Amino acid sequence: MKSSDLARLNLPSDPQISPDGTRVAFVVTRPDLDDDRYYRTIWVWDGESARAFTHGPADVNPRWSPDGRSLAFLRGGETTELRPQVAVMPAGGGEARILTDIPLGCEELEWSPDGTGIAAVGLTYTDEWADLDDAERGRRPRRVTDVPFRFDNLGWTHDRKRHVWLVDPEGGADPRCLTEGRYDERFIAWRPDGMAVAFASDRSPRKAFEDGMDLFEVDIEKGEQRRIIERGSWAFPSFRPDGILHAIGDPVPGSWPSLTSVWRIGEEPVDLTGHLDRNVFSMTLGVAPRGPQWHGQTFFSVLEDSGRVGVIRVHEDGAVDHLVDGDRVVKGLTVDASGSRLAMIISSPTDPGEVYLWEDGEERCLTDLNAAFRAGVPMCEPEHFQVVSGGIEVDAWALVPPGEDRLPVLLNIHGGPASQYGWGFFDEFQIFAGAGYAVIACNPRGSTGRGLEHVRGVVGDGWGVVDVEDVTNTIEEALRRYPRLDPERIGVMGGSYGGFLTAWLIARDHRYRSAVVERALLSFTSFAGTSDIGSTFPKIYAGVDLVDDPNVLWEKSPLGTAHLIQTPTLILHSENDFRCPIEQAEQLFMILKRQEVEAEFLRFPGEGHELSRSGKPKHRQERFDAILDWHARQLTTNG
């Protein structure tokens, strides 16, 4: 695979099976390198074949009406200035009716149980900013009185609010805001009687410094709001058909890093999936739709396990049926009214993804969206192996291009750290393998997919210790297993937490001849005051915050030992990264240049922390080309 092959991808997502199980709506995203944008359209499989149902260019979030006669979705415009609005069109096709004109657009939508209303999350400016034009908004000083005031991939948040709106599907009444006020709401779910909408909202007076989330519901007639349960780490509320509320999360605020579990909400929350010791919501993938998919007293859910993401059915007593498994990744599922059919998106290491139908234990592929890609782009099959490190098993993968020549090696380290590499399609690995590198990756302690003890392994004293042990043992085991891997030509790279561990590693282990440090956490002390999550993340992983003990934070920061780095290093960062602000990269670059280490710094304008996954297509291609150029310069035979 080459970087230009990004334009050949057709990526399905958000599968929505119709109530009668005869149709499946889903989103298809196509990167366009020429226009430097993504085209998103809604497709429908009608029982025989799949076809484009909308013309785009920015249609997402398809949702069937309860009677299956209409499809609601969010429609964006040709430019990002044209915000997504709620649209509805007949299931048989026709013209879409735009039902909202909310100033900053909408992010979620759900039909009411009787189909007479649609709840949506809409964004509006606060009073101070509402009546200004764009030029004045860009000029005016920003008076910030609370934190957080900006968030990665969302931009400024202090000047806008996210509220629950009620929308008339017939367009006969104006949309009505149900939750006006100073708070933000998200993750909406209708109560089965249609009289209230549940949502998540953080309403702590010290929300920036006290991790957690509350669950509320609002009465759609009276507008009255009530807290449903004591504060915890809650998200994605959903109702069982009999009205019993469930949610993903944990009753303990600030319990992260932990495993995502489904809880039955009552006087005493009941954990239905904790006994599995695995995530039921993948933090690695953009799984959509999110949360349990209900049929009667049971629900269907994804399950993350050792790099795989499968499907389980969970009964009222917590008993579990494993329905879909194997070396692949399920990126979304919904269930029909009978409970006998599931619509799913499934990908594998050599397949970007297709839509599948599971029916009474049998599954079949409904689409052929990426047939041309699979036929025209050579793929490299990964080999899974396990490494015993620190007395535990670590899952690892090797992608070794065919041939007999010795190969330069790229050790990849994922972000998070609470995420996982695995059995889904990952363009990065295929592009690196396509350029002639052996790719090695693993899920060290701190990763998901291996249980609670594993994901919490890097908390406190484990940070920068057990993870180093695991990735080092992985690269050494890979060199032992695969004789074609050249131990004299090893590069290492990672983004976010992976960027942290890369910079941390090359200061301590000089075997690496090339490094790429991307969107990295490099200084806990400055990160604590500049990152959108800086008020909580250092405390979560390092055990202290900036006020408690800045010396501990510095001791756990790669900048503290960056003067020991000898490895030639390419630094990649986005200028609008609010998760790991670009000052992190600037400090590392300055130290490396002062120490006369070979280093380059590539800055991407207008991009955030998610550049590698959802940045502008041209920037993604240029990023790939820069990485390959850098490693080629450092890892040549005579380099």
- Residue numbers annotated as active site: 496, 609
Alpha helices in 117-160 (DSSP H): 127-130, 134-139
Read off φ and ψ for residue 453, nearest 5 degrees.
-60, -35
Q: Could you say which DSSP state residue 251 is in? A: S
**Could you give the C-alpha distances from 458 to 257, 455, 516, 541, 591, in angstroms and in order?**
10, 7, 22, 7, 26
DSSP state of 171: S
Q: How many CB atoms lie within 10 A of CB 51?
A: 10
Cα distance between residue 67 and residue 57, in whole Å: 27
Token pair in block for residue 450: 């291996």
Alpha-carbon gap, residue 48 to 426, rounded angstroms:
30
Cα dihedral sign, 416-419-425-431? positive
Rg of the chain over Cα atoms, rounded to whole angstroms, equals 24
Question: In this structure, what DSSP letter does residue 590 have?
Answer: H
Would you call the peptide bond into 349 cis, given omega within 30 degrees of 0 as the criterion? Answer: no
Torsion of CA 117, 121, 123, 126, to 10 degrees: 90
Q: Which segments of 172-260 are extended strands (E)?
A: 176-177, 186-190, 196-201, 213-219, 225-239, 245-250
Across-strand partners of 232?
A: 213
Q: Are strands 485-495 and 514-518 parallel, antiparallel or unpaired?
A: parallel
Burial 135-155 (b: 16+ CB within 10 A, else e): eeeeeeeeeeeebbbbebeee
Give the residue ranges of DSSP H helices in 51-133.
127-130
Compute the distance between CA of residue 3 and CA of residue 415 in angstroms, rounded to an integer: 21
Other beta carbons within 10 Å of 587: 17
Residue 469: half-sphere exposure toward Cβ, Cα within 13 Å: 15
What's phi and psi for 580, nearest 5 deg?
-120, 90
CA atoms of 51 and 329, how far apart (whole Å): 24
Question: How many whole angstroms from its chain centre is CA 438?
Answer: 26
- Residues 6+ positions from 628 with CB-CB distance below 8 Å: 3, 431, 432, 435
Distances (CA, A) of 327 to 79, 411, 422, 425: 39, 21, 8, 11
Q: How far apart are CA 597 and CA 370, in angstroms?
A: 43
469 three-class SS: helix
The Cα–Cα gap between 480 and 610 comes to: 35
